[in-house]
Amino acid sequence: MSGVRGHGGADDGAHGRTEARTDGRGAAVGGVQERVRRHLDVLVASGAETGVQVAVHHHGRLIVDAVAGTDEPDGTGTGQPLTSTTPVLSFSTGKNVSAVLAHLLVARGLLGYDSPVTDLWPEYGARGKAATTLRHVLTHTAGLPAMPGDITPAELPDWPRVCAALAAAEPRWRPGSAMGYHAYTFGHLVGELARRATGRPPSVLLRDWIAAPLGLTGQLWFGVPAAALPRLARVGQDARQWPPAPEGGAAPPLAAWESRPSAALGNDERFLRADVPSVASASALALATVLDALLRGTLVGAAQRAELAAPAFEGVDRVFGTPTRMALGFPLGRLGATAETGATAFGWPGGGGSYAYADPARGIAFALTKTRLSPDFATALSVLALLDDA
């Protein structure tokens, strides 16, 4: 696929291009921009990465907007230079956007955090799910961590079929009583509530409520229009050994396709064009801009922002068997930070190594996307370490 042509100010090289830009509120210049820019160049030149985007807002000012590599995963240089506006398929990092969409439903008075799902979706009350609320969906305590067994990647583009299967499913625990990572189900649960509340699919709501108002048209998608597919970067698979799928916990493990990102799926046009709101095709700049707007009160008011970022559930993730703290729609904490230094941060990492988070206490909105799906977060951690030292 060919990439988006960039703007001026680029530093062209054999491995792609690294660039900085101004968003009208402040230029991404200075020491921290240069440090991140050079670090990304090294990652690409060494072969550790094929394409990376990093964007950071600090109290509304864009302080980092760095890109290196190309939009082709093989790193041969045959692709177009990756730019800061090139959308990259990012797996669960897209949950940051679907969570924001849920908060906008509340902000617009279409439902409340404690509204029963059945108020909008009566069929969902089957088999012991009648007490499920939006709060349960946002905290991953709804009891449907995995897609029903008859739903595979081939069925994901069939929105009615997936939602009917979720409505008919039996929860694996009483809603609200336990937490387990809802890998793909989260986006469909939020998306179906949004569709029933507004009459519009989540891809249209993302465009009209978030992307267009924030100047991100063409950079942020759930279902990518056919005409925009050539602008997407392709993703590749890291050859290293991936960790085993989760086996512990009280809930049955996720299917392999739910727990491990796949370049084959991430480059599949039918998948990319479908509404699958647990993932998103987005630039790092777009993801960071959305979280920055959330922090600054552009999308929701100050009281709602404080509520959505506060601890809402704490316990052991029944899918992964690990301790977890959830805000409304986001995990609390930050990659690479201690419990104290990352206490107020919230945001989703994505399988393959992408990451986006916001920290109200520090006024930071950060995002990193990349074209190589890796089994760890080494690149994100290395960039975060640079920012911590800045």
Asked, for residue 121, whether it belongs to a domain, the answer is yes
- Pairwise pLDDT comparison (134 vs 28), residue with the higher score: 134
Write the CATH number for 188: 3.40.710.10
pLDDT of 29 over the 60 cut: no
Does one domain contain both 230 and 176? no
Quick one: average pLDDT of 15-44?
A: 69
The whole-angstrom separation of Cα 252 and Cα 246 is 9
DSSP H helices, 234-356, are 256-259, 263-266, 269-273, 284-296, 302-309
Does one domain contain both 225 and 335? yes
What 3-state DSSP class applies to 215?
A: coil
Asked, for residue 378, whether it belongs to a domain, the answer is yes
Asked, for residue 318, whether it belongs to a domain, the answer is no
Show the tokens assigned to 341.
């230094």
352: left (phi over 0), alpha (psi -120 to 50) or beta: left
- Pairwise pLDDT comparison (249 vs 69), residue with the higher score: 69
Percent of the chain with pLDDT strictly greater than 70: 89
Asked, for residue 1, whether it belongs to a domain, the answer is no
Domain count, the chain: 2
Quick one: average pLDDT of 168-192?
A: 97
pLDDT of 249 over the 50 cut: yes
The predicted pLDDT at position 28 comes to 58
The predicted pLDDT at position 75 comes to 60
What is the extent of the structural domain holding 150?
Answer: 97-211
- Amino acid type, 164: A
Quick one: average pLDDT of 83-101?
A: 97
Among 39-43, 119-123, 247-251, 382-386, the minimum mean pLDDT is found in 247-251
Does one domain contain both 264 and 375? yes
Mean pLDDT of the chain: 90
The whole-angstrom separation of Cα 86 and Cα 282 is 7
Does one domain contain both 131 and 154? yes
Cα–Cα distances in angstroms (integers) from residue 151 to residues 146, 147, 155, 262, 363, in the given order: 10, 6, 6, 17, 40
Quick one: average pLDDT of 12-32?
A: 48
The predicted pLDDT at position 90 comes to 95
The whole-angstrom separation of Cα 109 and Cα 290 is 20
Does one domain contain both 179 and 205? yes
Quick one: average pLDDT of 147-151?
A: 96
- Pairwise pLDDT comparison (27 vs 369), residue with the higher score: 369
The predicted pLDDT at position 26 comes to 44
pLDDT digits (tens, 9 = 90+) for 291-312: 999 999 999 999 999 999 999 9
Sign of CA dihedral 123, 129, 134, 140: negative
pLDDT of 178 over the 90 cut: yes
Asked, for residue 316, whether it belongs to a domain, the answer is no
The predicted pLDDT at position 1 comes to 26
Write the CATH number for 22: 3.40.710
pLDDT of 10 over the 60 cut: no
How is 247-259 classified by DSSP, letter by letter? --SSSPPPPHHHH
Single residue among 191, 211, 231 that ends a domain in this structure = 211
The predicted pLDDT at position 316 comes to 96
The predicted pLDDT at position 239 comes to 82
